[in-house]
Structure 1
Amino acid sequence: MRILQIINRFDSGGAEKLLLETIPLYNSKCIHVDLLLLNGKDLPFLKVLKNLDCCTIYSLGSFSVYNPIHIFKIIPFLKRYDIVHAHLFPSQYWVVFAKLFSFSKIKIVVTEHSSSNPRINNFFISKIDRFMYRFYQKVICITEDVHQIIKKHTKLSNTKFEVIENGINLKAIENAKPYPIKEISNLFTDQDILLIHIARFSKHKDPQTVIKSMKFLPDNFKLIFVGDGDTKKENENLTKKLELENSIIFLGDRTDIPRLLKTANISILSSNGEGFGLTAIESMASGIPFIASDVIGLSALVGGTGILFEKGNEIDLAFKIEKLVNDNNFRIEVVNACKLKAKQFDIELMVEKHITLYKSMYDNASFN
């Protein structure tokens, strides 16, 4: 069985992180999986995957991922594989068009990674969206919330969907060693309380609230942002406007997330909504308290284990950060609950569920 994963490019988002973690596992279990990128820009995650030398990586060039020429470039690959697994828009559109234009009988599957699909609210695009989903043999949803949203949007039969929750590499996080805090920045000292926020800078995230919360915290509280993206510059400008340059550091994309988590005292994720909080699970597994905004995709995942703050409320966030630092018993209780919850999301379990799905699709294709 040969499977081709297709994604726009290898950014530092959750979907890309999952492929980075799972492709080596599939191949170690004798499931042949390769990767096709619409744009093969040599980003940090891609460099790591290349170094692992566990699969063939194809690039369609350096065109915009929205260029429809990708449809025709994908077509030759449909003859080489048994199943194509698409991730993110517009890859999921180009895969369908490639199948239709080539009259290929290949089985195609898509993973829906987000609960905030902006196409749902556009009258004309939502109609196209529903048409496109019809051609996928399976739509994998990463949470039950995502399942309900996409099912309502597409009006497809429930048999079209599979809910497979994301997983993390628990061993990598458990075995990670912290950095000396001064290795992160010369601005930091051993007496500082280090906060970490790991996420792409995009309209779906809300790093501004975390930045503003720093005005309500003592001077020994420091913050590192890990990630890159379109809104990074405006958040750097907000940091300068609030005169917080000595307290906030932007590290950009990093591939050493487990070590950074082990170095920090508290992990935060401020978001406008999540499909599945992969960072949330990694943070909860790392042995430090986790605080997240009370939004869809995080509320159910974090509630009862980590701490939730009111979306956009920097005062509420600052108050809960200080409570974790000042109340030792409370902090230990949160850490223990987080670690227990994280154990439910072992990446090995997720991979086995995907393999079961692939085999069922492959067997049906062979039979037909």
Structure 2
Amino acid sequence: MKLLHIISSLEIGGAQRLLADLLPIQIKHGLDVDLLVNAQVDNEFNEKIKRAGINIISLDSHNIYSLSNIIRLRKIISSYDIVHVHLFPSLYWAAIASAGLKVKMVYTEHSTSNRRREKTYFRPIEKLIYKRYDRIISISRQTESALQQWLQSSDKRFVVIENGVDIGRFSAICRPVIPKSLIMVSRFAASKDQETLIRSMKYLDKDIVLHLVGDGDNLEHCRSIAKNEGVSDRVMFLGARSDVAELITEAYIGIQSSNWEGFGLTAVEIMAAGKPVVVSDVDGLKQVVEGAGEIFHKGDARELALKISRLLEDKSYYEATAANCKRRSACYDIELMAGKYENLYYELT
């Protein structure tokens, strides 16, 4: 079976991290796997995929919205049995490029929301695009429900396969923990809410530090919030990093403050490292954490600070929460996810 994954780029993000972990496993399981991107980037995801012996095909196009990508895509995908697509606009271009070809098309929906769904005129367009896919995978029940509601459609093509992480990688890391340190690993984008976390810092003791890992369009705005709130000396903007697992292992508490999420991959990574996690109550994220970690109302900086303070001040509660989070992470081992993906591919062929 020849399998091609398509994603616009390997820039830092949850879907990109997932592919960097998943593709080496698929190779190990005997699948013939390639990856197609618009343009290559020099980062940890790119290097990890290359080290696994996976061919990365680049369109060498820095404009992900260029219609010329469709013509080149069509020539490439015609030689594969399965094409597995991730994220917009690859969702559109691959669907159009595959018209009339016999290749089986799979798409993974990674989020419960996006800006296209704010504009109803996109609905008929997206109905046509999604019809081209033989299977539509959602990374959570909430993601599937939101997509089906948007498309006004529900049939056997829709399946749920929850995300997974490399649990063993976090268990193998041994690093000293930085006392009273918080960490959030996310792109600085509309779907994330670093702003609320930054604002919560003014309600916390002055010796508590926050590490924000990632980059993106909203980064400078968040820097200005830290300055305006008078906490810039305790908020460290670390940028995109290749040692995310190590940084998580060093942290005392992990935070995932989001405006919307499809799943919450970073929250699982934090739990896999044996850390308590505090997340916003958005669908797709809260279901992963509830009953193990802490949940606060989205946008409520005071409540977030209270949740963090309890973990900092009550050692027995901290240890119990950390243990619950560690146990929960085992439900999301990437090997389980990889097996479900492979079963789906073989069903199609």
TM-score for both structures, normalised by structure 2: 0.97
Q: Deviations over 1:36-79 (max 9, x none)?
A: 002223344213322x1421001111321111111011011122
- Pairs within 5 Å for 1:107-126: 107-126=104-123
Tell me which residue corresponds to 2:298: 311
Matched, 1:267 2:254: yes
Amino acid at match of 2:13: G
Q: 1:10-52: per-residue Cα shift (whole Å, max 9, x none)?
A: 01111101100011110111111110002223344213322x1
Could you tell me which residue of structure 2 aligns to residue 23 of structure 1? 23
Partner SS, residue 258 of structure 2? coil
- After superposition, residues 1-368 of structure 1 pair within 5 angstroms as 1-50=1-50, 52-100=51-99, 103-178=100-175, 181=178, 192-362=179-349
Q: For 1:224, give the aligned amino acid.
A: H
Please list the CA deviations of residues 97-127 of structure 1 after superposition, one character each: whole Å capped at 9, or x if unmatched: 1112xx2111111000000132223121111
Contact 1:114–1:146 (Cα < 8 Å) also in 2 = yes
| Alpha-carbon distance change, 273 to 14 in structure 1, aligned in 2, over 3 angstroms | same
State the one-letter code of the partner of 1:174. S
Distance in 1 separating the partners of 2:161 and 2:295 = 24
| Partner Cα separation in structure 1 for residue 193 and residue 333 of structure 2 | 27
Change (3 A) 1:179 1:12: farther
Aligned pairs, number: 349
Q: How far apart, CA to CA, are the structure 2 residues paired with 1:353 and 1:53?
A: 21
Matched residue type, 2:109: E
Question: Is the contact between residue 177 and residue 252 of structure 2 (CA under 8 Å) also seen in structure 1?
Answer: no
> How far 1:233 moved relative to its partner?
1.1
1:179 Cα shift?
A: 5.4
The 8 Å contact of residues 78 and 98 in structure 2, kept in 1 or not, is answered as no
SS of the residue 1:159 aligns to: coil
| Gap regions ≥5 residues in structure 1 | 182-191, 363-368
Distance 1:199 1:80 in 2: 36
Distance verdict in 2 for CA 1:64–1:179, change over 3 Å: farther
CA distance in 2: counterparts of 1:158 and 1:338, whole angstroms: 34
Shift of 1:285: 1.3
> 1:127 is aligned with what amino acid?
P
Indicate if the aligned counterparts of 2:181 and 2:253 stay in contact, CA closer than 8 A: yes
CA gap 1:31/1:209 in 2 versus in 1, 3 angstroms = same
Summarize deviations over 1:292-341 as a string: whole Å, max 9, x none. 11111122221111001121111111111111011112111211111111
CA distance in 1, matches of 2:69, 2:289: 39
Structure 1: distance between partners of 2:115 and 2:277: 28
Moved more, 292-301 or 140-149: 292-301
Q: Distance in 2 between matches of 1:224 and 1:81?
A: 42
Which of structure 1's runs of 4+ aligned residues deviate more than 4 A?
none
* TM-score of the pair, normalised by structure 1: 0.92
- Identity in percent: 37
The whole-number CA distance in structure 2 between the counterparts of 1:140 and 1:267 is 28
Query: Any idea what SS the aligned residue of 2:212 has?
Result: strand
The whole-number CA distance in structure 2 between the counterparts of 1:48 and 1:25 is: 12
Mark the runs of 5 or more structure 2 residues left unpaired by the alignment: none
* Offset, 1:180: 7.1
